[in-house]
Structure 1
Amino acid sequence: MISEGRSINVTLIFSLERYAGVMGSYIAGLEAALANGIEDLSHISSVGSFFISRVDTEVDSRLRANGSSEALELLGTAAVTQGQLAYTAFLETFSGTRWERLAERGARVQRPLWASTSTKNPDLKDTLYVDSLIGPNSVNTLPDATLRAFDDHGTVKRTVDANPDEAQRRWERLGNLVDLDDVARVLETEGVQAFEKSFVELLQVLTVRCDELRK
């Protein structure tokens, strides 16, 4: 669809591996758009949407089940850590010769979008998923309560790539305790099922409404 000049929100991303594929597909789509005769790429936009809080909910349940001191120490860190590593991958992907050729034709970076950024765990700071993921060309879709909380006591500064080496070490520690690939599979499956259910329900409502208007 990118190759046809359409703007796309790629959603329900729960792993770095999936995100790498999303970014690669976007770049390939832009290259195909050029090949299809679209000379100005500036009107094509895209975001890659990470669902943040769901990652901590799933990982934390597994860390608690592990019960070790290290596991309990890492509670509430997985989602932000993955987001920070995703941003590092974003910076690396949208640089270099391949990307610069597209940027010269007006291409825009595919921005990382942080979704589901209200904390579900009352032990976590209510602005954690905002304070920790601030950086250029990123998007955060804040629920109303989180927006009010951030306006009241949030921290406005670039944080998402403040210490990528530390984020990598923390991610490796988490991976030694939890099967992060399985976490991503579970969350992606559940997310697709939930979105599919909502989509079917929406179509049913629209069908009923169309039938009413025809009468």
Structure 2
Amino acid sequence: MTDALKRLTDEGVAIWLDDLSRKRITSGELGEQLDEQHVVGVTTNPTIFQKAISGGDGYEEQLADLAARGVTVEEAVRMITTADVRDACDILRPLYDATDGQDGRVSIEVDPRLAHDTKATVAEAKQLAWLVDRPNAFVKIPATKAGLPAITETIARGISVNVTLIFSLDRYREVMDAYQSGLEKADAKGLDLAAIRSVASFFVSRVDTEIDKRLDERNTHQAKDLKGKAALANARLAYQAYEKVVAADRWQALARRGAHVQRPLWASTGVKDPAYPDTLYVTELVAPNTVNTMPEATLEATDDHGEITGDTVRGTYKQARADLDALAAVGISYDDVVQVLEDEGVEKFATSWNELLSSTEAELRRLAPKEA
């Protein structure tokens, strides 16, 4: 067993687990991962909860109570998911305190069906922050066009945000702008900027999946040479964009008011193509002040055989730009790819949410008190 996870931490990469379930909480497994695998945060999404609750482990008692109360399926899902996030927040609270609020965080996502409704997203973010009621909770808001002003308004209310489903460099720049605008509004209200945190979840593996599929369709040597390069190039250029923003006067003025940077977070880091190393999106995205949220299989693979060789992001920007530019030369539109990925991402989470509602509704019916 190597100590790759410690070396990753020493390089400035915060290791978060992209999974949560009632069983993981109550069995003590989550606590063990904090102690033994340098995990300092947890992310969730509708797909994770759909799998956890549909699996059934540990949820029957709460479902029976909810059925006895006759709550709606929407309320039942929110009571269950916020309970898990609240309990996870309590487990991670010592890390939150030890890092002055930077880590020890647990994320919960707004209803993905609201992704194109700004006002509803803000209302949902407020409700989730109130329901979880923990200072180390992050509310996840997707980086859709409608999500951008929602991010600004939520930050302006002092609620910490994990911005999710970022695929394009232009959208990432808009996300960083939305965060700064929210901080400026919060500052104008007299809120303590030091109490507000944010991460920006830049998705990785799905970029290779979509672009590699298009490269295969072209079936040329030039196209084949580009396979497996786009996702890393995209993420590395995102880090370059982050560096430019935090060096600018606008950010420096906020920093002097106590604001914290919005850390880049590498999401979707599980490798989809078995031809690639299973730690590819961990070992090749090492840079200071970043987060890598890993599915458990990726965490275990990194722990077992990950090779951390230092910073693998800075100094790569010229090649990264060349790799993305080369896509156009073989007829692949970057703009089309990232839009397709955003649309699919929202749709997939909405589908998982609807499946979660359906399976929970079936359980509520099964457990409902029988009439005399």
For normalisation by structure 2, the TM-score amounts to: 0.54
- Are 1:20 and 2:200 an aligned pair? no
* Selected match of 1:188 from 342, 352, 356: 342
Partners of 1:55 and 1:49 lie apart in 2 by: 13
* Selected match of 1:173 from 305, 320, 326: 326
Partners of 1:44 and 1:206 lie apart in 2 by: 36
CA offsets, 1:46-79, max 9 Å, x none? 1111221111010001011112211100101111
Written as runs of structure 1 = structure 2, the 5 A alignment for 1:40-55 is 40-55=192-207
Shift of 1:207: 10
Q: Which residue in the other structure is 2:223 paired with?
A: 71
Shift of 1:36: 1.6
Q: Secondary structure at the match of 2:261?
A: coil
- Are 1:81 and 2:265 an aligned pair? no
Gaps of 5+ in 2: 1-153
Q: Secondary structure at the match of 2:199?
A: strand
Partners of 1:196 and 1:145 lie apart in 2 by: 24
Q: Which residue in the other structure is 1:100 paired with?
A: 252
Shift of 1:143: 1.5
Partners of 2:294 and 2:178 lie apart in 1 by: 27
Partners of 1:140 and 1:33 lie apart in 2 by: 28
Q: Which residue in the other structure is 1:130 paired with?
A: 282
Alpha-carbon distance change, 98 to 66 in structure 1, aligned in 2, over 3 angstroms: same
**Number of residue equivalences:** 213
Alpha-carbon distance change, 195 to 104 in structure 1, aligned in 2, over 3 angstroms: same
Amino acid at match of 1:111: R
Shift of 1:199: 2.9
Partners of 1:160 and 1:112 lie apart in 2 by: 12
Gaps of 5+ in 1: none
Partners of 2:285 and 2:198 lie apart in 1 by: 19
Q: Which residue in the other structure is 1:141 paired with?
A: 293
- State the structure with more CA Rg: 2
- Are 1:10 and 2:163 an aligned pair? yes
Partners of 2:323 and 2:215 lie apart in 1 by: 14
Q: Secondary structure at the match of 2:193?
A: coil
CA offsets, 1:20-53, max 9 Å, x none? 1111100111111111221x21111111112211
Partners of 1:161 and 1:61 lie apart in 2 by: 28
**Percentage identity across aligned positions?**
49
Alpha-carbon distance change, 92 to 131 in structure 1, aligned in 2, over 3 angstroms: same
* Selected match of 2:189 from 14, 33, 36: 36
Alpha-carbon distance change, 31 to 186 in structure 1, aligned in 2, over 3 angstroms: same
The Cα RMSD (Å) is 2.0
Shift of 1:162: 2.9
Shifted more, 82-91 versus 143-152: the winner is 143-152
Amino acid at match of 1:188: E
Partners of 1:170 and 1:108 lie apart in 2 by: 32
CA offsets, 1:111-137, max 9 Å, x none? 111111111111111111001111111
Q: Secondary structure at the match of 1:135?
A: coil
Shift of 1:206: 7.4
Alpha-carbon distance change, 208 to 29 in structure 1, aligned in 2, over 3 angstroms: farther
Amino acid at match of 2:344: E
Question: Which structure 1 residue ranges, 4+ long, deviate > 2 Å from structure 2?
Answer: 197-213
